[in-house]
Amino acid sequence: MTVGTDGSYWGRAALGWAARHAYRAGLELDVYEADRRYEDLPADLPADIGTGSVLRPYPLLGARIRSSGADAAAALLSASAASGLLALGCRGQHKCHLGVGRNALLLAGSAHCDVVVVRGRPQAVHGEFRKVTAWLGEDASDDVVIARAKDFARLTRSVLEVERQSATVPVPEGTDLVVVGGGAQLGLAARTALHHAMCPVYVVR
């Protein structure tokens, strides 16, 4: 599993989400950190941009720390080719607006593996609702979306719900994860969830 972090609120949230998932699933974790040589990071961030404190509760987790280099999105895209799952925050440093950042949208639509964009309420990010929702759209990946949601629900001992996206059905709430189809181009369900979901969004690639 791979995760990108820049020490921002959502970068740390993504790292925490990825660490919990990797530890629970018995996976190794590749952590790509923003590089101060290329990123304008806040001066009060620790030298490791907070990675150590997030990983400390998981001493048995096999984690490798790498630099994202000059182009974080390119580094994560390349890493996704050898990864089963990529996690990143919905936006990073200097992105104070609501919604989802450019890199998150880019990687959700182009990564070589499934992508989790971490966003939403703290209860959802920490898995406190004990519910996973497969949100089916207009593409042909319904079976895969349901399978991924079922696997995650089983791993986290959560309830699985299946809903179909429509103009009258809002983005599911009160859930820890919304699983949507991706494909060559992000469909309406995926784009709506990435911009408006109150929980992490799992995009099946």
Domain's final residue, options 118, 133, 148: 118
Domain's final residue, options 118, 137, 170: 118
- Looking at the structure, do residues 17 and 88 belong to the same domain, yes or no? yes
**86 lies in which domain range?**
2-118
Whether the full predicted model's pTM is greater than 0.75, yes or no, is yes
Read off the CATH number of the domain in which 21 is found.
3.40.50.620
- Looking at the structure, do residues 113 and 129 belong to the same domain, yes or no? no
Q: What pLDDT score was predicted for residue 188?
A: 86
- Looking at the structure, do residues 135 and 113 belong to the same domain, yes or no? no
Ramachandran bin of 127, using left for φ above 0, alpha for ψ from -120 to 50, beta for the remaining angles: left
Q: Do residues 178 and 172 lie in contact, with contact meaning Cβ atoms separated by under 8 Å?
A: yes
CA 184 to chain centre: 18
Comparing 68-82, 94-108, 182-196, the range with the smallest average pLDDT is: 94-108
- Looking at the structure, do residues 70 and 104 belong to the same domain, yes or no? yes
| CA–CA distance, 21 with 17 (Å, rounded to integer) | 6
